Amino acid sequence: MSIEEITIRFVVGGLFVSLFALLGDVLRPKSFAGLFAAAPSVALATFILTIDIKGRVFAAAEARSMILGAAAFLIYGCAVCQIIMRYKLSASFVAPTAIFIWIVAAFCLKSLLIK
């Protein structure tokens, strides 16, 4: 990775983080703002650079991977919430120990949807 590519990633990533942070600051409730602070902006910046550097076909595969990863994260998040509520366990214990749910969900979604 060249210094120019790193600089572009830094600038584009910072721009997107700033824009999404501004959007999150405008929305209510404030706890919802964190959702828009980093992950979408970094993903978009990386995606734009991937299109420019590797082409649209490669970027399409990356986009599918991002979507499947997000779906797997949704499954993980729902499972963690259910475990915490049902068994009255601490989030700091459940979240890291249940990470295998995210991994299994991601691999299952990949095997079902991408051939």
Break the chain into its structural domains and give their ranges. Answer: 1-54, 63-115
- pLDDT at residue 1, as a whole number: 66
pLDDT tens for 9-44 read 778 777 777 777 777 677 766 665 666 566 666 777
3-state helix vs strand vs coil in the chain, percent to 5: 90, 0, 10
Name residues whose C-beta falls within 8 Å of residue 5's C-beta, 6 or more positions apart in sequence. Answer: 49, 53
- pLDDT at residue 36, as a whole number: 59
Token pair 């995210």 is found at 102
CB 66 within 8 A of CB 47: yes
Name residues whose C-beta falls within 8 Å of residue 44's C-beta, 6 or more positions apart in sequence. Answer: 16
Q: What angle do CA 63, 44, 35 make, to 5 degrees?
A: 105
CA atoms of 45 and 57, how far apart (whole Å): 17
Residue 47 dihedral angles phi and psi, to the nearest 5°:
-65, -45
